[in-house]
Amino acid sequence: MFFDVKGCAQLAKKLAKISQQRGTGKVLLAANESHQAKSAPEQGEPIEAKQWELLFVEGQLLYAIGYRHRVRRWSRALQQHCPHFVIEPIPLPVNEPWEYQVLNQGLLQENLSTNQAKSVIRTTAQEIFFDLARYSSLQALWQPSLDMDAREIQQINPHWLVGSDEVQQMIYRGIQLWEKWQEMGLDYICPDRSPTLINHQNLKKQISSESFLSLNSLFNGCNTIWDLAVKRKQSVLGLTRTLDYFIKAGKISLTTPADIPSPLEQLLLVRAAIKPSRKKPLIACIDDSPMIAEKLEQILQPAGFRVLKINNPMQGVAKLAEEKPDLIFLDVVMPQTSGYNVCSFLRQSSLFRDTPIIILTSQNGLMDRTKAKLNGASDFLCKPPEAHQVLEIVKKYLQESPPENLPVSSPAMA
């Protein structure tokens, strides 16, 4: 059943009707292109057949999915409510929503509490209702789950279901937040965008090195405004209001980052790209940005590798010599020296003469690649590194592979 709704308030009435009828199924939602709010996805971006999905069981909300940054949203909720939760590999294929399946497995294995799982579901849904509130018109399709029998319904944890009254409250909280967003003149900013420093060199001259590194690690194009609000434990509205000044002053631009790999994608990447083995090679990351080192660790650890993080190459050479990593990721731009100099220095040592050294940089020109080769680099990888590219390049230079069926860590934010 198709229906159009003029804004989130009318959607709330439609969902209340589904709850009254104790409907089991899903509501697929997409924005009407001609009625997009100013902070909707970038101009020219095609409207997907479904951008959001609300799953109901007997009139109660089971889970809410937003297909833009689906894993980032899930990761933020985990970070807030169960930061130490480690996800075990799930036999594939897995039923949707996979997030619910992972939470249920965590509860069965006593790695999660019921309250933690409920909080993750509610936090995820609340973000999505704010996202929906940004649109003045929505298209919806109700798809009843005619194939879900009573036995399958009984297997769903009833304590996690969100009742109609709470759904209505979350919708109106989303509407209120969007109204405040507009009142403050922030409707040109979408919290799914990533703040990025515009002029690094000028900023370096104006503030201390410590402050610059801190700002550069946050505003590096890897974190969305939603991500930063969670990391800094601020309200997304308050943080966006602060960013508004720097955006208008020309100090920060907004970019659109990709989503991060889901636990299932991590597992598939491991199985597809790397053959099983009992060995755990050590991979070093030399980068003054903690965020890049963390992102590499998030990609490599689930694949069974050990990661050595070094943020000061001048002090870290002794550690490299002691640990003798099997492969090195090396940043180019660092405060005290250049990655090219470090690469050249390492190649002069017999310890690292044959060690694969992968240059990490946001500069991807022919001259940059040539300079990397001339200084002894084995290969070149653009920042921010994508999971499949990292695993492919590791597979290319390391024949040994990690064991299969290792635990997959909860996907952290880039």
* Three-class HEC string of the chain: CEEEECCHHHHHHHHHHHHHCCCCEEEEEEECHHHCCCCCCCCCCCCCCCCEEEEEECCEEEEEEECCCHHHHHHHHHHHHCCCCEECCCCCCCCCCHHHHHHHHHHHCCCCCHHHHHHHHHHHHHHHHHHHHCCCCEEEEEEECCCCCHHHHHCCCHHHCECHHHHHHHHHHHHHHHHHHHHCCCCCCCCCCEEEECCHHHHHHHCCHHHHHHHHHHCECCCCHHHHHHHCCCCHHHHHHHHHHHHHCCCEEEECCCCCCCHHHHHHHHHHHCCCCCCCCEEEEECCCHHHHHHHHHHHCCCCCEEEEECCHHHHHHHHHHHCCCEEEEECECCCCEHHHHHHHHHCCCCCCCCCEEEEECCCCHHHHHHHHHCCCCEEEECCCCHHHHHHHHHHHCCCCCCCCCCEECCCCC
Q: Sign of dihedral through CA atoms 89, 92, 98, 102?
A: negative
Q: What strand order describes the sheet that includes 357-361?
A: 306-310, 282-286, 327-331, 357-361, 379-382
Residue 200 has pLDDT above 80, yes or no: no
Mean pLDDT of the chain: 80
Determine phi and psi for 333, rounding to 5 degrees. Answer: -95, 110
pLDDT for 270 = 57
pLDDT higher for 251 or 205? Answer: 251
Per-residue pLDDT tens digits for 277-335:
456 889 999 988 888 888 898 889 888 899 999 887 767 777 888 888 999 999 888 77
Tell me, what's the pLDDT at 33?
54
Kindly tell me if the per-residue pLDDT of 401 is higher than 60: no
Max avg pLDDT among 96-110, 237-251, 329-343:
237-251
How many angstroms separate the CA atoms of 84 and 363, rounded?
Answer: 35
Query: Cα 151 to the chain's mean position, in Å?
Result: 35
Note whether 398 and 326 are within 8 A (CB).
yes
Residue 106 has pLDDT above 60, yes or no: yes
Residue found under tokens 């050479």: 317
Please return the burial class of 202, using the count of CB atoms within 10 Å of its CB with bins 0-12, 13-18 and 19+. exposed
At residue 152, the pLDDT reads: 62
- Classify domain 263-409 by CATH number: 3.40.50.2300
Q: Residue 153: its pLDDT value, please?
A: 62
Question: What per-residue confidence (pLDDT) applies to 384?
Answer: 80
The average pLDDT across 115-127 equals 95
Every domain range in the chain assigned CATH 3.40.50.2300: 263-409
- Who has greater pLDDT, 92 or 239? 239
| Among 74-83, 152-161, 341-350, 389-398, the least confident range | 152-161
Q: Which pLDDT value is given to residue 194?
A: 93
Is 271 or 121 the better-scoring residue by pLDDT? 121
Q: How high is the pLDDT of residue 265?
A: 67
Is the Cβ–Cβ distance between 375 and 343 less than 8 Å? Answer: yes
